Structure 1
Amino acid sequence: MKTPRGPVATGSGIGANAPKNKWAGIVMTAFSAFGGILFGYDTGVVNGIKVMEPWLRRFGDELDSKGNFVLSSSRESLVVSILSAGTFFGALLGAPVADYIGRKWGIIFATLVFCFGVALEVGSNSVGIALLVVGRVFAGLGVGLVSCLVPMYQSECSPKWIRGAIVSGYQWAITIGLLLAAVINDATKDRADHSSWQIPIAVEFVWAFALAAGMFFLPESPRWLIMRGRDAEAAKSLGRLTGFSSNDPELLADLDEIKTNLEAEKLLSSNSYVDCFRSTDNKILFRTLSGIFLHAWQQLTGINFIFYYGTTFFQNSGIKNSFLITIATSIVNVFMTLPGMWGVERFGRRRLLLVGAAGMSLCEFIVAIVGVTIAVDNLTGQRVLIAFVCIYIAFFASTWGPITWVITGEIFPLQVRAKGMSLSTASNWLWNFGIGYATPYLVNKKAGSAGLESKVFFVWGSTCATAFVFTWFCIPETKGLSLEEIDDTYREVYPWQSVSWHAANLNRRRHAIGDTGDKDSSHTGEERES
């Protein structure tokens, strides 16, 4: 019996020839990136509150030489990393939630779970560390769901010519969340009572409400609606996103292409987790492993060492106002994500990942060398250390920060997209948990800890060098391709051949199907109006 081949893309992708009011759909899709603020803020807020004196008086479990409460390595590991344990399971839940509730309503459900966890954290002052930990687990479940569902929703709803920038907006929102956490922590740190740390946590209710309220008015993913057999609703949803009427021939052609590809995918798989690990002609197993390891390498760049433990690290390096330095690094993170959002459609995903890995590796080795060769009271050395930490963050923010989410939102076919993204995102949080838990034992100079301090940057520099090799062999260029066309890339070439294949074949293939109205976004990153 003849083995069924996967789908072959022949159309231009969502919104390729949309009228001028297409920007309404782009704005709607971009708004969902607000979910990144939950992710970033909740990640960053613990960095500051765990060194506030009122918080340490309530939750600290050791006394230092001056009689002040401090955290043991084990408790610090628990408080910081337990969020990531929750997010790991939240990311795994993202697949069934996305497939059965939907992308839109799944995000709203995630905000409710998140708010329950935040409420427990705020109330933990009267109960103790146990309630704080349980609250962070539930908040993590919500963040894990959001981190899976938001990039999925964005990838399925945004036009291909700007898809990379829109999904990168999710990472930009994460950096804004980190900055907001640093600013609010700094504003409340000098309060003498428990409000110093309760206020920053309670602010998370505001971000969750804004996301849920906004998503209520946005359309559901048309691809999910087609997968559920709700074609009429899919046409209306796609019409809102593209500016076409629901019976426009261009819109109906897009829907037919999505349905055709979905039917072909169903012949190859049964929509189970097992299908993510099948060896097929469109390399589903390879794509699943690529997504899982791409997120692992993003965490192994060491970036969350700065945003979880940066305040403590700068204090131990002799820098007096560590809160302000944390704000400065967060500002770098926010503004250097913007070049990445522009460059992802100008230079492509693969090239930026390679440049980013090389640049981060160099900076981290310099930080490690400076850290082990200068005294903590050497002002010049401190400035050099801060400067290269900021340059390192700039490389991450403009490359591996946003592009990891872009890639994993693009590389999976519709039939297994929710499960593939769920596994990839769960990998991100599993490594996040491992790094968050292990870092105090690696860095602190306490009994039972390795005491590496700044030498830990030798580890991060080495992992970034390995991430360069991984990218070269495993990550293809997907710039300017519809989600259906990306299937063809995996079917026909290896990742390191994708750039030349893209240039040699894209124009020829589109000309062969008579699609001459769409400017080749692989060269300009822009769309020509019809």
Structure 2
Amino acid sequence: MAGGAGGTGGGIETASLLWAVIMSAFAGFGGILFGYDTGTIGGVIAMDNWLENFGKFDISLIDNGNNGWFIPTNDKSLVVSILSAGTFFGALFAFPMGDRVGRKWGLVAACAIFSLGVGLQLDTRWATFIVGRVIAGIGVGLVSTLVPMYQSECSPKSIRGLIVGLYQLAITIGALLAAIVLNSTKNRQNHSSWRIPIAVQFVWAAVLAGGMICLPESPRYLLLKNKQVEARRALGRLMTLPYDSPEVEAEALEISTALAVELKADAASYADCFRNTENRNGWRTWTGILMQGWQQLTGINFIFYYGTTFFMQAGIKNAFIIQIIADVVNTVMTIVGVQLIDRVGRRRLLLIGAFGMCMSEFIVAIVGVTVGTPHMTAAGNAVNITAQRVLIAFTCIYIAFFATSWGPVIWVLTGEIFPLGIRAKGMSLSVASNWLWNFGIGYATPYLVDKTTFGVNGVKAANLGVKVFFIWGGTCVGCLVFTYFFIPETKGLSLEQIDLLYRESSIIGSNEYRKKIIAENETFVNHSTYADAKDKVAHDIGVDHDEKASA
């Protein structure tokens, strides 16, 4: 993006940085919807009243405070992972919602869908509860695509990583709030023990919808739809300048020029998302799809979906408190991480994070299988306290590395690597990949971790326990390799300059070319290769303005 006709590359800069942050970061509140639900379900399925209402009874399980009620592995897998099935389709629906209704009103509609799903989960019938989770998932899927899209298109390039990273911070805050609410209601012996944590989600949806109604539509979306006047008014609000100022005109020209160059090489169908023409759309789309999948394969949601029950099985007392500690670490380190994105860079943070997670997970696995597993003695169930402390410590270190890197950075990259013409489609495919892997991992994990049960309700399982961390450690090696070969460095570039980066540079050499773009203030407007597109756009905009004035 240019800050002027000469192409300064200034992007959507504003005279009031605070106002820009408030407007574009508020949408990040949508992360609370996902984070809170993720954190809630793991605790809800461990509550006595919920188990008595939805679970099964086995008299042989009555021992050491266990009242005999339990949820079979297949039902546990279903109730936890079915939200991700809904979010998968919600993410795919985000393209028509975001490109036809708009980024802003698409988010408002997503909140209404989410609220319907939450209401159904307050019912005491299993089928209704499951349907409610699917519908809530559709709402979360829409939000998870439209929020980073809106933030990326509306935030100043100098702090875009920070602002989009706030979406991940909101996810962690949501998970922390869920842990606190669950801890305060877990001892209730009636339906309110699990209904209160679920019903709190109405508040998050109302706040997000109410706030979005007050915010402007994305100016890039408006220019995509050729709504020139509305786009300039939105840009004016974001830049805190008059809508007819030279700065706003120059910014609109840069965005429109980049769009014209892009559409000259490609159309904007789903098939075009996978074609490798000058725009390298295919490379970008597969990068988005794969990096969202690798984020899930780090194993992070194992901790937040099944952390409470896993810590219980490991013999750790006060598992609910340990879960709160894990959520606090996640939240605090995400605050640190979002401030590093625009300083350290996307690519470098991902490399550091993948290495740190890999080491931490292998340590958890090795300690767990050697000295960390509870075992029976003559005096009862023996637990190695030192080993447990090591498990907890390195689990928190693992969470810290994720929170400073693969948590927020992936959402930032998803929002900025796609050109405007296919951004909604590309992001919907990428985020759908996240939820597909989320569903698969959420559904399979109990079968990997739990013990085989017998009897009428018996289910065969792998009983890996803490050994599952060997799998997560191995996938983090994959994250490291993928980052090196697939993810460019985009720090400090406008969205349109990132288009130039993909057109003119290789992935491994992206950081050097990024420095060249910044040093030479390179944009579509001042790039000689795209002069014809600039002149045509300027002419079309002028004609359009004349027609509107005469009308």
Q: TM-score, normalised by structure 1?
A: 0.93
Q: Report the equivalent of 1:132.
A: 129
Distance of aligned partners of 1:512 and 1:96 in 2 relative to their CA distance in 1, 3 Å threshold: closer
In 2, Cα distance between equivalents of 1:149 and 1:47: 26
- Residue of structure 1 in register with 2:21 after alignment: 26
Shift of 1:271: 1.8
Q: Is this contact kept in 2: 1:82–1:137, CA < 8 A?
A: yes
Note the C-alpha offset of 1:308.
0.1
Tell me, in whole angstroms, the C-alpha distance in 2 between the residues paired with 1:241 and 1:455: 50
Match of 1:490? 502
Q: Return the letter of the residue paired with 1:393.
A: I
- Residues 1:62 and 1:420: Cα distance change in structure 2 (over 3 Å): farther
| 1:256-267 mapped onto 2 (5 Å cutoff) | 256-267=253-264
Q: Distance in 2 between matches of 1:131 and 1:207?
A: 22
Instruction: Tell me the residue number matched to 1:53.
Output: 48
Q: Is the 8 A contact 1:14 1:158 kept in 2?
A: no
**Aligned residue type for 1:77:** S
Q: Aligned residue for 1:270? A: 267
Which of 492, 515, 519 is the matching residue for 1:480? 492
Q: Aligned partners of 2:152, 2:523: CA distance in 1, in Å?
A: 25
Give the whole-Å Cα distance in 2 for the aligned partners of 1:334 and 1:216. 28
Q: Which runs of 5+ in 1 are unaligned?
A: 1-8, 516-530
Contact 1:348 1:477 in 2 (8 A): yes
SS of the counterpart of 2:461?
coil
Task: Give 1:511 deviation, angstroms.
Answer: 11
Q: CA deviation at 1:268?
A: 2.3
Task: List per-residue Cα deviations over 1:86-139 (Å, max 9, x = no partner).
Answer: 0000000001100000000000000000000000001x21xx111000000000
CA deviation digits over 1:32-52, x for unaligned, max 9? 100000010011100100000
- Residue identity over aligned pairs, in percent, reads 56
Are the aligned partners of 1:349 and 1:478 in contact in 2 as well (CA < 8 Å)?
Answer: yes
Letter in 1 for 2:96: P
Partner of 1:143: 140
Cα distance, 1:462 vs structure 2: 0.3
Distance, in Å, in 1 between the alignment partners of 2:92 and 2:525 is 39
CA contact (8 A) 1:107 1:212 kept: yes
Aligned match of 2:196: 199
Count of equivalent residues: 502
- From 34, 41, 44, the equivalent of 2:36 is 41
Contact 1:45 1:185 in 2 (8 A): yes
Cα deviation 1:294-345 (Å, max 9, x = unaligned): 0000000000000000001100111110000000000000000011111101
Q: Matches of 1:416 and 1:207 in 2, distance apart?
A: 30
**Number of the residue aligned with 2:534:** none
1:313-332 equivalence runs, <5 A: 313-332=310-329
Q: Is the 8 A contact 1:15 1:159 kept in 2?
A: yes
- Give 1:313-352 correspondences, 5 Å limit: 313-352=310-349
Q: Does 2:415 match 1:409?
A: yes
Q: 2:483 aligns with which of 471, 488, 492?
A: 471
**What is the identity, as a one-letter code, of the residue corresponding to 2:364?**
V
2:484–2:508 contact (8 Å) kept in structure 1? yes
Distance 2:255 2:280 in 1: 19
2:109 is matched with 109
Deviation of the 1:267 alpha carbon: 1.9
CA-CA distance at 1:270 after TM superposition: 2.4
Question: 1:421, 1:368 → 2: CA distance?
Answer: 34
**Equivalent runs, 1:13-412 vs 2, <5 Å:** 13-16=10-13, 18-19=14-15, 21-63=16-58, 65-66=61-62, 68-122=68-122, 124-125=123-124, 128-374=125-371, 375-376=373-374, 377-412=383-418
Q: Secondary structure at the match of 1:424?
A: helix
Distance 1:239 1:456, change over 3 A: same
Specify the SS of the correspondent of 1:44. Answer: helix
Offset, 1:227: 1.0
Q: Deviations over 1:478-499 (max 9, x none)?
A: 0000101111111122211111
> Is the CA contact (8 Å cut-off) linking 2:496 and 2:523 kept in structure 1?
no
Q: How far 1:24 moved relative to its partner?
A: 1.0
Query: What TM-score do the two structures reach when normalised by structure 2?
Result: 0.89
Aligned pairs (5 A) from 1:431-510? 431-447=437-453, 448-510=460-522
Between the aligned partners of 1:501 and 1:268, the Cα distance in structure 2 is 22
Once residues 467 and 61 of structure 2 are traced to their aligned partners in structure 1, the CA distance between those partners, rounded to angstroms, is 25
The CA deviation at 1:505 is 4.3
Aligned AA (1:318): G
Which residue identity does 2:32 align to in structure 1? I
Q: Which runs of 5+ in 2 are unaligned?
A: 1-5, 375-382, 454-459, 528-551
Displacement of 1:509 in angstroms is: 4.3
Q: Distance in 2 between matches of 1:512 and 1:183?
A: 49
Partners of 1:248 and 1:80 in 2: CA distance: 52
By how many angstroms is 1:279 displaced? Answer: 1.4
The code of the aligned residue for 1:258 comes to: I
Q: Which amino acid aligns with 2:61?
A: S
- Partner Cα distance (2:36, 2:10) in 1: 34
* Runs of 4+ that moved beyond 6 A: 511-515
Q: CA offsets, 1:226-270, max 9 Å, x none? A: 111211111111111111110110110000111111122222222
Q: Does the aligned pair in 2 maintain the 1:151–1:170 contact within 8 Å?
A: yes
Instruction: Name the aligned partner's letter for residue 348 of structure 2.
Output: R
The match for 2:457 is none
Give the 3-state SS of the residue equivalent to 1:438 in structure 2.
Answer: helix
Q: Give the AA of the match of 1:109.
A: A
Q: d(CA) in 1 for partners of 2:366 and 2:261?
A: 54
Counterpart AA for 1:295: Q
The whole-number CA distance in structure 1 between the counterparts of 2:17 and 2:463 is: 55
Question: What CA distance in whole angstroms lies between the structure 2 residues aligned with 1:253 and 1:22?
Answer: 19
- CA deviation profile, 1:335-374 (whole Å, cap 9, x unmatched): 0001111110111000000000000000000000111112
CA distance in 2, matches of 1:507, 1:238: 26
Q: 8 Å contact 2:120–2:131 — kept in the other structure?
A: yes
Distance in 2, Cα, partners of 1:174 & 1:396: 13
**Alignment-derived partner of residue 526 in structure 1:** none
Is the 2:107–2:142 Cα contact (8 Å) retained in structure 1? yes
In structure 2, C-alpha distance between the alignment counterparts of 1:32 and 1:230, rounded to whole Å: 22
SS of corresponding position for 1:161 = helix
* Contact kept in structure 1, 2:118 and 2:201, CA below 8 Å: yes
Distance 2:36 2:333 in 1: 18
> Which stretch of the first structure deviates more once superposed, 342-351 or 490-499?
490-499
Amino acid at match of 2:42: N
Aligned residue in 2 for 1:5: none
Structure 2 distance, partners of 1:363, 1:496, is: 27
By how many angstroms is 1:275 displaced? Answer: 1.0
State the SS of the aligned residue for 2:463: coil
1:44 maps to a residue whose letter is G
Change (3 A) 1:176 1:247: same
- Is the CA contact 1:36–1:173 (under 8 Å) kept in the aligned structure 2? yes
AA at the equivalent of 2:486: C
1:420 to 408, 423, 426: 426
1:2-60, CA deviations, whole angstroms, 9 ceiling, x for partnerless residues? xxxxxxx94524333x32x2421221111110000001001110010000000000111
Q: Deviations over 1:448-499 (max 9, x none)?
A: 1000000000000000011100000000000000101111111122211111
